[in-house]
Amino acid sequence: MNFLNKFFKSEKKTDEQVTETEPKKTTESELGEFNLLDYPEKDREKSFYFYEYNKPDGEWINLGEPICKIRIGDSTGIGKFYGASIKATKSGVLEWTLNRDELLKNDKILFKIHKSGVYKNENSIENFEFKSYFSESKLSSFNKWLVADGSLVKENQDVYQFSDSLIGNAQLVMLGAKVNNNTTIHKSEKSGYIDLYFKKALHIPNKELMYVIKKDDNDRINRKFINEPNIIIDEFSNSTIIKWNKVSSKFANSKGIKTKSDDLSTDFIFSFNYIDNNDQIVFYFDSKQIKPKQFDKVSFLFENGEQIVFELANNPISVKKTLEYKGIITLTELELFSKSNFKKWKISLVNDKREILGGETSDENLYPNKNNIQIVIKKFVNEYIELVKKTIPKYQPTELKQKEPIKETLTDFCFVYLMHDTSNNYYKIGISNNPEYRESTLQSEKPTIEMIASKKFPIRKIADSIEKALHNTYSEKRLRGEWFELNTKDVEDIKETLK
């Protein structure tokens, strides 16, 4: 036998219009069954709909507290409707059994009330996880979080700050009442890793899930920091390329981990890709903020004191207002990223004689602080390593760095070269300060590559113009980038040009 309060009539669909009265005295039961006989005879031919629960699933409910609301003859609440609010005749843990606007019939179970320790979804501080809901009955405004997402908090530690709602205060002022802006600090109910759910907004709805505290941080990390690969099969070179659609993001497209400099003036993004049959670290720079050049350096410092230094062997390539640089990364360096806590990065602009430090903050909402940056780096590089092992046949990581190119100033001589890939008969028309180094680098990736011809020019600007002229001449035979499908005459003409 279910228990039912008096009926009420509402002219509006706002939840605050619900009328509540004392429950009927009845035998305690764990089941709240719907029964038409509990309703006046005049309403029994109407349709009955479940509306909402007054407390979250798994929460403790006290004797006499409202459990749920139903609507009679109307499923939407638009216009006039009759309704009823049902109260508990015993204390216990509430179990939800229905969905909003579900049609009610006799013997339908509206809810269940359990003793503590019975219901598997019971929200208890003794459980592995504990959910904290906002329970203020008055309108309240959210001010700020006092802890970082994913941090280890202690019981009774300050978690967030809220105050009387500006909306509610404005209404009181209109009625001539005095308003005191009371600020309240919510404190943690237990110790553990905190997972922040509430998105910052002016008004906090009642029963809103604010945060969850768990004994470990794994669920939050796996739910919020999603890495979605973009695996490309390159039919021209018969190789597999691994890039990324999302890095440490649940919704937005992102190609790498994004952090900021200490002075917040410079953005720096880096990623781990598999390109040209090699593990590569890729750097992205905002060309409006910074313009690194050949022989500049990017260094990573870890909390154990170890460092990795990447020298830019070539000038970064400009792609849609972004400067992009790719360089080979060794297995030892990948493992250092995967096992050690990252501390800072440093960009050394040799030509400009200045350094930029950063890596401790980010403007990404999901990982704005140092702790979360360290987490996303480790998760990303470990998932990259596992993906490469599963995706690349006969995968062999680079054990040692290639020898460094001979440093030359940007005003020194430069070469235009023609290389041949004998495995597919394609040709590469390129430019380099050190074509022998470039040839050895490409040969380490594909042994079938050989130098056909090269010509030295006094300055890079002249070499650039010759390379561009050759690219334009054979544009109809371009396969991709600097690779072309040339015939014998084309090759002889280029060799004659580069004598």
- Residue 311: what pLDDT? 93
Question: Does 15 have pLDDT greater than 70?
Answer: no
Question: Does 359 have pLDDT greater than 70?
Answer: yes
- Residue 375: what pLDDT? 95
- Residue 441: what pLDDT? 63
Q: Does 157 or 399 have the greater pLDDT score? A: 157
> Where does a domain end: 164, 190, 222?
222
Q: pLDDT class for 298, splitting at 50, 70, 90?
A: very high
Question: Does 140 have pLDDT greater than 70?
Answer: yes
Question: Does 12 have pLDDT greater than 80?
Answer: no
Assigned domain for 398 exists:
no
Question: Does 19 have pLDDT greater than 50?
Answer: no
> Where does a domain end: 222, 244, 272?
222
Host domain of residue 467: 414-497
Clarify whether residues 383 and 458 are in a common domain. no
- Residue 89: what pLDDT? 86
Clarify whether residues 147 and 275 are in a common domain. no
pLDDT (average), residues 304-318? 93
Residues 6+ apart with CB under 8 A from 447: none
> Where does a domain end: 114, 144, 161?
114
Clarify whether residues 337 and 462 are in a common domain. no
Q: pLDDT class for 175, splitting at 50, 70, 90?
A: very low
Clarify whether residues 246 and 380 are in a common domain. yes
Assigned domain for 339 exists:
yes
Question: Does 283 have pLDDT greater than 60?
Answer: yes
Question: Does 178 have pLDDT greater than 90?
Answer: no
Which range among 25-34, 217-226, 296-305 shows the weakest confidence by mean pLDDT?
25-34
| Type and span of the H or E element at 323 | strand 322-328
Query: Which residue is it, tokens 């050759």?
Result: 470
Question: Does 169 have pLDDT greater than 60?
Answer: no
Question: Does 6 have pLDDT greater than 90?
Answer: no
Which range among 70-79, 117-126, 299-308, 323-332 shows the weakest confidence by mean pLDDT?
70-79
How many domains in the chain?
A: 4
Assigned domain for 51 exists:
yes
| Residue type, position 415, single letter | F
CATH, residue 42: 2.40.50.100
Assigned domain for 196 exists:
yes
Question: Does 269 have pLDDT greater than 90?
Answer: yes
- Burial label, 270 (beta-carbon count in 10 A; 0-12, 13-18, 19+): buried
End-to-end Cα, the chain, rounded Å: 100
CA distance 32 to 111: 5
Clarify whether residues 229 and 307 are in a common domain. yes
Question: 365-405: per-residue pLDDT in tens?
Answer: 788 889 999 999 999 999 999 999 999 988 999 887 654 44
Mean pLDDT of the chain: 84
pLDDT (average), residues 315-341? 93
Clarify whether residues 43 and 98 are in a common domain. yes
Assigned domain for 333 exists:
yes
Which region, left, alpha or beta, applies to residue 176 given φ > 0 means left and ψ of -120 to 50 means alpha?
left
Assigned domain for 264 exists:
yes
Question: Does 268 have pLDDT greater than 50?
Answer: yes
- Residue 493: what pLDDT? 93
- What residue spans of 156-275 are helical by DSSP H? 166-174, 218-224
Assigned domain for 2 exists:
no
Clarify whether residues 190 and 251 are in a common domain. no
CA distance 308 to 391: 26
Clarify whether residues 255 and 356 are in a common domain. yes
- Residue 402: what pLDDT? 53
Question: Does 413 have pLDDT greater than 60?
Answer: yes
Please count the helices (runs of H) and the strands (runs of E) in the chain.
7, 32
Question: Does 179 have pLDDT greater than 60?
Answer: no
- Residue 282: what pLDDT? 97
Clarify whether residues 376 and 239 are in a common domain. yes
Question: 52-111: per-residue pLDDT in tens?
Answer: 899 999 999 999 899 998 888 765 555 555 678 888 888 999 999 999 889 998 889 999
Q: Percentage of the chain surpassing pLDDT 70?
A: 85
pLDDT (average), residues 2-13? 40
Q: pLDDT class for 170, splitting at 50, 70, 90?
A: very low
Assigned domain for 407 exists:
no
Clarify whether residues 27 and 87 are in a common domain. yes
Pick the most confident of 5-9, 94-98, 231-235.
Answer: 94-98
Question: Does 199 have pLDDT greater than 90?
Answer: no
pTM reported for the whole predicted model: 0.65
- Residue 412: what pLDDT? 63
Question: 421-467: per-residue pLDDT in tens?
Answer: 888 899 999 888 877 766 666 665 667 889 999 999 988 889 889 99
Query: What Rg do the C-alpha atoms of the chain give, in angstroms?
Result: 33
- Residue 405: what pLDDT? 45
CA distance 355 to 84: 69
| 243 touches 326 (CB < 8 A) | no
Nearest residue to 56 via CA among 134, 147, 4, 110? 134
Nearest residue to 293 via CA among 272, 315, 308? 315
CATH, residue 294: 2.60.40
Clarify whether residues 233 and 367 are in a common domain. yes
Clarify whether residues 267 and 327 are in a common domain. yes
CA distance 60 to 95: 10
pLDDT (average), residues 153-171? 77
Q: pLDDT class for 2, splitting at 50, 70, 90?
A: very low
Backbone angles phi, psi at 436, to 5 degrees: -65, -40
Please, what is the angle between helix 331-339 and helix 370-391, to 10°? 140
- Residue 470: what pLDDT? 93
